[in-house]
Structure formats: structure tokens, C-alpha cells
Structure 1
Amino acid sequence: MHTAETDRTTASRRPEESVTGILFRLTDRLYRATSKDEVFDAALEAICEALGCTSASILQFDDEQVMRFVAWRGLSHDYRNAVDGHSPWKAGQRGVSPIYVADILQTEEPEWLKDVIAKEGIRSLAFVPIEAHGQVIGKFMSYFGSPHSWDERENEIAVTIARQVGFSVERWRAEEARLVAERELRLSEERFRLMSEDAPVMIWTSDSNGHCRHLNRLLREFWGVRESEISRFRWDETILQTEARPNYAPDGTFMGMIGVNLDVTEKEDAERALRESEGRFRHMADAMPQLVWTADGQGRVDYWNSRVSEYVGGWMGTRGDFDWTALIFPDDLEETRQVWERALKTGQPYQAAHRLLMRDGSARWHLSRATPMRLLAWGCLSGTSPPTERSGRTGACSKSSA
């Protein structure tokens, strides 16, 4: 068994160039490490060589915040089981410092713990915190077989090793998290791809630059694109109704868009044709000398040609709230209203002879006709005659909803 003086000779009295070489090799091995096991192996070797201890271990907090052995040298299975989970610090604790025990038998620790440690042949031990971002994530332990007084030089060496190990452990924790995230992303993308392939709508995704990353089967068939050609695909001029939402990474980085398309080319063509037809109708109606108007299914007048505006002038309101009853001569209003409401209720053709009030306040007889249709009803509005006559009637087209 080493004496206290022998232990101090192998640690604090080690030549400076020797300690520097040990720390340099540690840095190099940590840089080249391809796994956490290689990190731990390099750290244990440096701890034993630089501090001159007989055994060493590295422990980390697990997912349940319990300190567990992850690597060791010179420790028995029984010892590790007996002290597993013991830690002077809590996970994430800040502002901690190493704890050095010169002689475990001279402490006030429980007798059972001192017996376990002494049975392992350990008299002196050190608890050196391993930190990441200023928080405790684990510790390394160094053990001596005889009482050992730690000096400042040994403390500097221990803290330096702990910092190197903490940096490397955190790097590998980040790498493991990245690999897990990538694996989960691949699984998620595969689930999305399988789901989208048989979806009854066209689904696509793009990257943050707007370049296409995925087209499901319906979209590929729609555009005639092979799966191998998706990365070079450019959006077609076909009219599609698109709903899309941004796709963000867990850290908030914009990754691109995920969208659903519906082919609305025929719908757009039909609406464009309807607009053109409506435009032709209005142009024709304004060119006619007769009064032309339309009404919806509730009987609200929603269109009249320019001839109506010129004819009745200030009586006109705005489209949708035009009160046509104000144009009817009072003595003819009730009969006209009954005929109009009956036509709306039954969907039968509308025809009424009544007097309309003119711009100059006079009243002229008119014959109004409307023929109902499924969507729009077309009818006629009569021509004019002197206020007291009911002759000289001429037809003028109008339309009304049934």
C-alpha cells in the first residue's frame, strides 16, 4: 500500500513537463474520440497518470437525475453497487467546487459507508465536478490507498481534466441528440411520405428556398413527374387551389412549406367564362332602350341597367337595398306586391301591369314580366305610355331569381 508521502511524490511532485504532456495527450485523444467510451477511457488514463491515484471513476446523472457509474478503473462490482447513486451535488447545480477527503476513516460519514470504502482499499478520495454550461452533469473520482493531503497544484490538474471531460461529454451529448433528432426526422418523414402517397388530395413540400422536395403520387401523376425528377421540378402554370403552412425545426429555423393542392383549373375556367358572360350581358343590357333589371330569390333587386337609372332618376337606391315598391303608383302597389310574392313563392312566371313613377313625378303604365330559372330568371319590363293610358306597351328584358 502506498504511503502518504509516496502518493504526493507521484502526483504533486511530478515534473511540470510530464503533467503538461499528459494533459496534451488527453486533449488530443478527446479531439479524436469517436465515441463517449473513448472519451471516458482517455479521461481515466489522464486522471490516474496526472494525479498518481490507484483507481478512478467517472459518473453522470441519468435521466432520473441519479448519479451513475459510466466508466471506472480498479473498482470492484460490489463497491460500485454499494455507492451507486451517491452524490454531494444535485443535477444542474451551479457554483460547486471539488471535495477532497484526506482520510475517509477520520470523517463523520456513516459507518457502513466508511466500511465499504475501506474494504475496497480506499483511504483518500476526491469528488471533482464535471460541468457543462456551468451546471453539474457528473463527477470524476480519484482514489488513493492511503491518507492523502491534496495541494493547490493537484486541484488545478483535477479541475483542468474535469473541464476537458465536461466539454467532450457535452459535445457527445449534443451529437447523440442530433443523431436521435435526425433518426426521428427520418421516421417522421417516412410516415408523412407513406400517408401522403395514398391521400385523396395532392400534397407537396418545399425547402426554405421554395424548391420542391416532395410530390405525392397524385401530384406526380398530375404533372407527369417521376420521383427521381422531383428535385429538379418547377411549378407548372396549371391553376391549383393551394393551402400551405410553414414548417419549422424544433429550434425555430424555417425549413420550408407543407401544402395541399386541389386542381381547380376547370372551376377557374368556368368562373372566368361566367364573368365574361356576365360582362356581355351587362354590355348588351346597357345598350338596350328598355328597362332591364334582375332580382335574387328573395325578391331583392340586385341589378338594373343604365336605362332604369336614367328613367326614374332619384328613386334609385344602391344595389341590394333598392326599394322597388317606391316606384309603383300607390293605387297599383298592393296588387303588384301580391303578384310578385306569388311568383317568388311558386316559381311561376311573373307578369303585372302597373304605373311607375317617373323622374318628373308623372306616372306611366308598364308591363313587367319575369321568367324564373334554376339560378337566374329572365323577364320583361314594359315600355311607356302617357300617365293615364294603358297602351303602347313594348317589352324590355329583365331577370329574377326563382
Structure 2
Amino acid sequence: MATPDDSARPWSIRSGEEFRALYEFTDAIYHAHSMEDVYASALDVITKTLGCDRASILLFDAAGRMQFVAWRGLSERYRAQLAGHSPWRPGEADPPPIFVEDIGQTGEADWIKQAIRAEGIVSLGFVPLTLEGRVIGKFMTYHGTRRRFDEHAQALAVTIARHLGFSIGRARAEAAREAALAELRMSEAHFRHMTDQAPIMIWMSNAEGHCEHLNKAARDFWGVEEERIGVFDWSTTIHPEDVGNVLARMGQAMASNEAVLLRGRYASTSGEWRVLQTEARPRHACDGRFLGMIGVNVDITEQDGIARQRELMLAELNHRVKNTLAVVQAIAHQTFRSERSIPSVATFIGRLGVLAAAHDILSRDNWESTPMPELVREVLTRDPANRRNVQMEGPALLLAPKQALAIALALHELQTNALKYGALSVERGSVSLHWNLAPEHGLDIVWQESGGPKVKPPKRRGFGTLMIEQALAADLNGSAHIDFRPEGLVCKIRATCERVQ
């Protein structure tokens, strides 16, 4: 401990000086035109009232790192070394200030002590700056001799920090408000310019369904002058066979404030009937009032014709693929029978049957997606005797074709094993299948058996096990693991494919 002297005595100044300095600070930040003015006024009051000739203000940046924004009497080397150092985390709730009489007697890292000592600093004050009770930064006081901060000095430092934190919060709010106003002032012009450049038709209606805006593509399609948008009745251009459905769907969407997707035929300015696909969403004011609809019309006349042709081709392809599977099944049966490998025949035929069942489901949806519940029911309950022993639970999510085929094969292998050796080989046994969609990675599937014979890990991995743990994991871009627990086999499958929905 240093011997008592003027530098070690509790610091204090006269109340009149404090009051005057705080008043000048409050007045200065109230009339400040920039944050630089606020920081300068804050450094003035800190050095005047807290008895230091060096001070700084630091704020957390977007990355959560404490950065110097204003300072007095600090070298560039010191600022570079100590930037980022903070006793608090961003957003920490109402921490108390920290006052250090002698940095050499603290538990700070040696490099920090050396950097502070090299700057000629002995005592420091760390005073948190808060906004709505959460730390956003700090101000620092630096002393070249040992100083002890009494309760009065600490209270004064906290008062200055509150004023400064409030001023920073007000400045940020004002900046955000100005930015919002500027964006609002430009939004309409930008919206009109942007929509007029768009290659698709964009429109906006009021709450009664009358046009408020048509972009250039829409005006050109219907031959509507911009000044006549308000009196244009788009419903008169709908094909007589489509008008009932289009108006009913749009009316229902407006009445229920819901999005709508529909298609219909419309007469263009040339008199040609064109198929337009319309996607519209409700617009709302800040107070929740319904303002009308905003939507896009896409001319899909050519695509619609191509889609019809594709449906015919797909139907023919489905028929041919089914025939191919039947031929493969017959050849396999004949080959295995000649080799007297009856178990192999049953296994091979079962797998082809599962592929065919999954194929049927995909074909019904044009090979775009497969509902998980439908696929599970098709694979696991084809045999009525198993239905009461298999419990299934999970959301109605959709699988991409590759995923559907992989999961169908996996479930078939698990069911086959359960029927031969596991829970489904005895009357009291049961299987629980659960699946859910995890936002962080995708689809989780858990197959769990219970009530069957005691399970023993196999001496070698069979084809089914390897297919699940290796081929299935690869197809799903995820992982699969089979756990041969004594009380019942458990298989956990995780799919991280982007097309799981």
C-alpha cells in the first residue's frame, strides 16, 4: 500500500461545481447536433467532475466487440491494444461500475497490466453505459496516481453514465426514425419504378377490389392508360367459363384476409385469350386494417399447354416403368428358383414390391413429392395382421422422390427383420414409429421395437443393416444407426436433405 498523501485521499469537489458541470452537460447533449458533440460534452463533464485528465467512451459494435468512439489523452498504441477488452458482455443487465485503485494489484492478465502501466495509468474507473437496463458500452477514467473512489464519486459517475446512455439511445432512435421516414418517402417512387421494370404483371387493389396500381406489364396487357387505372374493371376481361371461379376465389380471399393462388383465362388488349396465374396476398395498415390485395399475374399460356402434354407423357412413362418392374420381378423369381434360393427370392420380391408401392404413390403426384404418412401406411400395413402391432405418429410432411424410395426400402427392411426375429415375430410384440421435422437439420425418424424376443447384436452386418446405415444415409444426406438393445431394436434416421419439407 502507498503511504497516505493527497492522491490517496477520497476524492471530492464542491457541490456547486458538480451542479454546474452536470447542468452544462445536460444542456449540451440536449442541443447537440451530432454524436461527436455528445461525446465531447461527456468527456468534458467526466474530466471536470471525476478528477481525471484522461477519459474515453467505448461502445459495443455489431460483432459485440467493445470499440473506442471518443477519448482524451490516450495513445493510438494503447487504444489498439485495449480495444475489445470489457468486463461485461453485450446486453448484460444493470452491472455495477468497477473502480480499480491500482491495476498492478488486480488479477488481470500480465499483458493488460503492462499495456496500462506503459500508458502511465495506475487507477481506472469502468462505468457501464446502459440502454433500457442493458449494457451498450462504458466510459473510462484514467489516473496516473493511485486514487480511491468514494461513494459520492461513484454515484456521480453513475449519474453521468445514465445521462450519456440516454443521449445515445435518443440519438439512435432519432437516426432510426429519420431512416424510416426517408425510406417511406422514397418507397412509393421506388415501388412504381421497380414494378414498371418487372417482366411480370403486378397489381394492387383497395379494400373494395378496385384497382389502385397496375405496373407497365399489366397496363400493356390490358391496354389501360395510367390515368384510367382507378376506373378499370378487370373482371370484364375474364373468360365467361372462368369468371365465376375467379371472382369467387378472389372474393373469399379478401373476405378472409388470406393469400390466394388461382388461374384463369383473360382477354388481352389484342383480343387473344391468355392463361394467367394469379398469386395475391392481403395488405394491412400498421394498425391491422385491411387495405386490399397485392398480387402478380404470370402469363402461363404456353407452359399450360406444355404441362398438359407432360402429363400425358408421364402417364405413359408410369405405365412402362410398372411393366419393367413386373418383368424384373419375373426374371428374378425365375433365376433364384433355379438356384434353389427361396429366401433370396422372397427378399428380392419384397423389395421390388415396396419400390412398386412407393412408385405408385409418387406417380399419383407426378413424381413431385410423397406424403410421409401415406408412404408409411403403404409399407407397414400392407399385411392386415401387422396393423394392430404397429403404431405410427408424425406430421404430414412431404418427401422428395429420392427420399421416399430410400425411406420405403429402409422401413421394409426393418419390418422384415422384426417379422423374422424381432418384436413382430411374437403376438405381444409391437413397433413404434415416430417422425418429426426439426428446423435445424431436417427429418428425424425413430423406429423402436418392444415386447419381442431378447435382442442380441448380430455377429456380422447383413445386407439390410448395411443398406440402412450406409446407402440410406447417403441417399438422405444424413445418418442412420441401428442399436441392437436387449429390450428391442432401435433405429434412428436423420435426413438433412434440403428438399425435406
User: Shorter-chain TM-score: what band?
Assistant: 0.5 to 0.7
Letter matched to residue 231 of structure 2: D
1:107: Cα distance to partner?
2.4
Are 2:232 and 1:196 equivalent residues in the alignment? no
8 A contact 2:284–2:290 mirrored in 1: yes
SS in 1 for 2:170: helix
**Compared CA separation, residues 200 and 91, structure 1 to 2 (3 A):** closer
Question: Gaps (5+ residues) in structure 1?
Answer: 227-232, 263-402
8 A contact 1:56–1:73 mirrored in 2: yes
Q: In the alignment, which residue of structure 1 is the partner of 2:294?
A: 259
8 A contact 1:59–1:67 mirrored in 2: yes
**Compared CA separation, residues 137 and 193, structure 1 to 2 (3 A):** same
The 5-angstrom pairing of residues 92-107 of structure 1 reads: 92-107=91-106
Are 2:233 and 1:238 equivalent residues in the alignment? yes
8 A contact 1:55–1:75 mirrored in 2: yes
1:75-106 Cα deviation digits (max 9, x unpaired) = 00011111111111111111310000112223
The 5-angstrom pairing of residues 316-395 of structure 1 reads: none
1:22: Cα distance to partner?
1.0
Give aligned-pair identity as a percent.
41
8 A contact 1:244–1:257 mirrored in 2: no
SS in 1 for 2:231: coil
Q: In the alignment, which residue of structure 2 is the partner of 1:128?
A: 127
8 A contact 1:203–1:219 mirrored in 2: no
The CA distance in 1 between the partners of 2:92 and 2:142, in whole Å, is 24
1:193: Cα distance to partner?
2.3
The 5-angstrom pairing of residues 31-46 of structure 1 reads: 31-46=30-45
Q: In the alignment, which residue of structure 2 is the partner of 1:339?
A: none
**Compared CA separation, residues 211 and 84, structure 1 to 2 (3 A):** farther
Letter matched to residue 39 of structure 1: V
SS in 1 for 2:52: coil
The CA distance in 2 between the partners of 1:167 and 1:234, in whole Å, is 49
The CA distance in 2 between the partners of 1:254 and 1:48, in whole Å, is 53
Q: In the alignment, which residue of structure 1 is the partner of 2:48?
A: 49
1:110: Cα distance to partner?
2.7
Letter matched to residue 125 of structure 2: A
Are 2:163 and 1:164 equivalent residues in the alignment? yes
Question: Gaps (5+ residues) in structure 2?
Answer: 236-246, 251-278, 298-501
Q: In the alignment, which residue of structure 2 is the partner of 1:216?
A: 215
The CA distance in 2 between the partners of 1:222 and 1:39, in whole Å, is 58
The CA distance in 2 between the partners of 1:171 and 1:213, in whole Å, is 38
Q: In the alignment, which residue of structure 2 is the partner of 1:85?
A: 84
1:209: Cα distance to partner?
12
1:261: Cα distance to partner?
8.7
More helix by share: 2
**Compared CA separation, residues 33 and 191, structure 1 to 2 (3 A):** same
Letter matched to residue 91 of structure 1: P
- Report the number of matched residues: 250
**Compared CA separation, residues 95 and 195, structure 1 to 2 (3 A):** closer
8 A contact 2:99–2:124 mirrored in 1: yes
Letter matched to residue 127 of structure 1: F
1:204: Cα distance to partner?
3.1
Q: In the alignment, which residue of structure 2 is the partner of 1:363?
A: none
If the length of structure 2 is used for normalisation, what is the TM-score?
A: 0.44
Q: In the alignment, which residue of structure 2 is the partner of 1:391?
A: none
**Compared CA separation, residues 121 and 211, structure 1 to 2 (3 A):** farther
The CA distance in 1 between the partners of 2:161 and 2:100, in whole Å, is 18
The CA distance in 2 between the partners of 1:86 and 1:71, in whole Å, is 16
Letter matched to residue 259 of structure 1: I
The CA distance in 2 between the partners of 1:114 and 1:201, in whole Å, is 66
The CA distance in 2 between the partners of 1:212 and 1:47, in whole Å, is 61
8 A contact 2:283–2:294 mirrored in 1: no
Q: In the alignment, which residue of structure 2 is the partner of 1:341?
A: none
8 A contact 2:210–2:233 mirrored in 1: no
The CA distance in 1 between the partners of 2:51 and 2:211, in whole Å, is 61
Bigger Cα displacement from structure 2, 117-126 vs 29-38: 29-38
8 A contact 1:204–1:216 mirrored in 2: no
1:100-126 Cα deviation digits (max 9, x unpaired) = 011222323233322221221111110
8 A contact 2:203–2:211 mirrored in 1: no
1:24: Cα distance to partner?
1.3
1:183: Cα distance to partner?
5.7
The CA distance in 1 between the partners of 2:31 and 2:89, in whole Å, is 31
The CA distance in 2 between the partners of 1:139 and 1:156, in whole Å, is 15
1:46-92 Cα deviation digits (max 9, x unpaired) = 11111121100011111111111111111000111111111111111
Are 2:177 and 1:141 equivalent residues in the alignment? no
**Compared CA separation, residues 107 and 189, structure 1 to 2 (3 A):** same
SS in 2 for 1:129: strand
RMSD: 3.7
The CA distance in 2 between the partners of 1:110 and 1:98, in whole Å, is 20
**Compared CA separation, residues 253 and 42, structure 1 to 2 (3 A):** farther
1:236: Cα distance to partner?
2.5
8 A contact 1:117–1:123 mirrored in 2: yes
Letter matched to residue 6 of structure 2: E
**Compared CA separation, residues 247 and 168, structure 1 to 2 (3 A):** farther
8 A contact 1:54–1:144 mirrored in 2: yes
Q: In the alignment, which residue of structure 1 is the partner of 2:67?
A: 68
